[in-house]
Structure 1
Amino acid sequence: MPTPAEELRAAAQKLREHAQDATPGPWRQHDTHLDLGGHTATVLSGKGNETELRAWLPTMSHEPWDETRNAWANASYIALMGPDVGADLAQWLDDTADLHEAFERGGLPPVTSAAALAVARALNGDR
């Protein structure tokens, strides 16, 4: 069974790899009107004429804010949790692992954030 520090480091590595492979942020959510009619939620990056589509969440709806499909809330969340946030979360997990090991080396009971360990386990698929 892995130690808490090993769980934290594995999750940090996984998150860091995914964040590095993703298109650089920042990302933002956008309500896009389709030429054929209807609306869809999208995730964009870039500014001005450099804007690029990163994700498209179809709603199959002609209502601009059809909450029953939750596409806009999902697109906002995806944009919020872009690669910049992923890199920072990975660093937080590594820092927490460092703290855990430092306490252990000092002969003290290891201190591990329950929140950090929960995040690590979710990322590692152990939750």
Structure 2
Amino acid sequence: MSAAEELRAAAEKLRTLATEATPGPWRQHDTHLGQYGHTATVLSGEGNDTDLRAWLPSMSQESWDEARNVWNDAAYMAALHPGVGLALADWLDETATEVTAAEGTEYALHPDGGAFASWEAALAVARAVNGSAS
């Protein structure tokens, strides 16, 4: 698969996942479950339109228990809501267009490294999204 194809495949995957998910922004929240303690959650919406996106059990009696990573995980999930995925997909598509336009020139992305650091960064993101090696 060429670099441009990898970039476009990742963009398509991100765009599909993001458009099928609940729109962002999302936010992290410490939810108290009474006798069961606290848990980290990811919420969307505002006021009475708030919906639960993810529940990360901590089984902790401490709010925002720093000894458990679930609050960091919830913050990360909330930060990478579907709007971020769509922006990443657009960036990958734009980079794929640049890479395709440069094919056969001195600026072409070579298998062992690229001409531009931004292309290499985009390709690293695409490979992480696609689950491919390198």
TM-score in same-fold range (> 0.5)? yes
**Structure 2 unaligned regions, length at least 5:** 109-114
Give the structure 1 partner of residue 37 of structure 2: 38
Query: Normalising by the residue count of structure 2, what TM-score does the alignment of the two structures yield?
Result: 0.88
Q: Does the CA-based 8 Å contact 2:36-2:59 persist in structure 1?
A: no
Q: Give yes or no for the alignment of 1:102 onto 2:101.
A: yes
SS of alignment partner, residue 58 of structure 2: strand
Residue 92 of structure 1 is matched in structure 2 by 91
Amino acid in the other structure paired with 2:91: W
1:54 aligned counterpart, secondary structure: strand
Greater CA drift, 83-92 or 96-105: 96-105
Q: CA deviation at 1:35?
A: 2.5
| Cα distance between partner residues in 2 of 1:30 and 1:69 | 15
Match for residue 120 of structure 2 among 111, 114, 127? 114
In the alignment, what sits opposite 1:69? 68
Note the alpha carbon deviations across 1:16-67, whole angstroms, 9 max, x for none: 1111111111100001111234100000000111111110000011011222
Q: Percent identity of the aligned residues?
A: 62
Tell me how far apart the structure 1 counterparts of residues 66 and 21 of structure 2 sit (CA, whole Å): 28
Runs of 4+ in 1 over 2 A off after TM superposition: none
C-alpha separation between the residues in 1 aligned to 2:126 and 2:106? 23
Amino acid at match of 2:64: W
Q: Aligned partners of 1:109 and 1:29: how far apart in 2?
A: 43
Q: Distance in 1 between matches of 2:66 and 2:98?
A: 43
Tell me how large the CA RMSD over aligned residues is. 1.3
Q: Distance in 1 between matches of 2:35 and 2:96?
A: 51
